Amino acid sequence: MQVMDAEQHDQNVTAHPSPPPPQTLSKNAQKRLLKQQRMEAKKAERRAAMKEHKKKEGDRKRKEWEEMLASVAEDERLKLIESRKGLRKERMEKRSEEKEKKTQRLTNAKEHGQNIVVDLDFSDLMTPNEINSLAQQIMYCYAVNRRCASPCHLWLTGCNGEMGSRLQRLPGFDKWIIEKENRPYIEALQDEKHNLVYLTADSETILHELDPKKMYIVGGLVDRNRWKGITMKKAQEQGIQTAKLPIGNYLKMSSSQVLTVNQVIEILLKFLETQDWKTSFFQVIPQRKRGGADSEDCQGDVEGGEENEEEEDQLEIKKKRTESPSND
């Protein structure tokens, strides 16, 4: 009987092996984890506060409207209601007209706009939080591009794996007027290889003008500080051109901070609009990232990416995003 019990015990152990002991995180990994947890907690608090504020504002406006209707005669009440309906209809018609114009501009950009590619082939180097951050940046890129009088034609290449899944969860992503490629750009755009230009701060070539025939690539990688020089190395191995924005001719970046993907693309859009690099840099780059102006002997990192100030950049994105891109 004891032998049978022992055999049964051995079978249970084999069928249900003990989980491996948890791996001990390094001090730096523990700090990053704590920072991510604090950021997520703050984000949750802000979302809850914004939701509560929106609810209170809605309740307040509804109460004021009801009180106003209750304070007037029946005929006046009917006039107020009809007037409100008319204003609402007018707003909806105007919004629909603006949406059609934006859609037409984006459609025209497919043929005549500057091509800008976001290289999303780095998802295996990023954490889930970083992938989520990049997806938010891309959503803002699209929203900014939609508002431009002369938008560019956006490409997303390497839209697969976790990055592709996260993008699919963005509001209205399937309706975005952009090019979405599961393949890397080097495969999807092999016929245009001679026109590909990777924007990287490690390049020795300074970009003075945007060539309509060129397709400018922005590296979609968050926390680039962990992967110094990765985009330059990639471009060299693939045999494609590289260039860097002339940021050092106009301002001094504080420390070695990088710009987010949406900031790089917004700079390019501003330059297409103004043909002025200085104006483009100063309108897009946050003051906290600018250490000084008109410096000839300094170069900031202007690749698409994100420094350790992720929370501030995400707050800035939410503050500046005045409309949802899901309406397309």
- For residue 257, the model assigns a pLDDT of 54
Residue 312, CB half-sphere, CA atoms under 13 Å: how many? 11
Structural contact between residues 293 and 251, judged by C-beta atoms closer than 8 angstroms = yes
- For residue 307, the model assigns a pLDDT of 39
Residue whose pair of structure tokens reads 């105007």 in the numeric block: 94
What is the 8-class DSSP label of residue 114? Answer: P
3-class DSSP state for residue 311?
A: helix
Other CB atoms within a 10 A radius of the CB of residue 89 amount to 10
Structural contact between residues 218 and 267, judged by C-beta atoms closer than 8 angstroms = no
Chain centroid offset of residue 194 CA: 28
Chain centroid offset of residue 204 CA: 27
3-class DSSP state for residue 109?
A: helix
Select which of 223, 276, 301, 328 is catalytic: 223
- 9: CB partners within 8 A, 6+ apart: none
**Catalytic: 301?**
no
Q: Tokens in use for 18?
A: 């003990």
Find the radius of gyration of the CA atoms of the chain.
26
Q: What distance separates the 2 farthest-apart alpha carbons in the chain?
A: 95
Q: Could you report the per-residue pLDDT of 102-130, keeping only the tens digit for each?
A: 788 888 888 899 999 999 999 888 889 89
DSSP symbols for 116-132: EEEE-TTGGGS-HHHHH
Q: Tokens in use for 227?
A: 């992967």
d(CA 169, CA 182): 16
d(CA 295, CA 292): 7
Q: Tokens in use for 71?
A: 């304070």
Q: Which of 314, 328, 327, 304 is nearest to 140 (CA)?
A: 314
Which burial class, exposed, middle or buried, applies to 77 when counting CB atoms under 10 A from its CB (0-12, 13-18, 19+)?
middle
What's the whole-model pTM score? 0.70
- For residue 144, the model assigns a pLDDT of 94
Q: Could you report the per-residue pLDDT of 205-248, keeping only the tens digit for each?
A: 999 999 999 999 999 998 756 778 899 999 999 999 999 999 98
Residue type, 197: V
- For residue 14, the model assigns a pLDDT of 47
Strand partners, 304: 259
Which helix (H) or strand (E) segment holds residue 32: the answer is helix 27-70
Q: Tokens in use for 159?
A: 């839209």
Full pLDDT tens readout for the chain, 328 residues: 554 555 555 555 444 445 445 557 778 778 877 887 887 888 888 889 988 998 999 999 999 888 888 888 888 888 888 888 888 888 888 888 777 877 888 888 888 999 999 999 998 888 898 999 999 999 999 999 999 988 999 999 999 999 999 999 998 999 999 999 999 999 999 999 999 999 998 999 999 999 999 999 999 998 756 778 899 999 999 999 999 999 988 887 765 557 899 999 999 999 999 999 999 999 998 887 776 554 433 333 444 544 344 444 544 555 444 444 444 4
- 297: CB partners within 8 A, 6+ apart: 248
Q: Helix/strand/coil (H, E, C) string of 4-30?
A: HHHHHHHHHHHHCCCCCCCCCCCHHHH
Structural contact between residues 196 and 185, judged by C-beta atoms closer than 8 angstroms = yes
d(CA 175, CA 252): 39
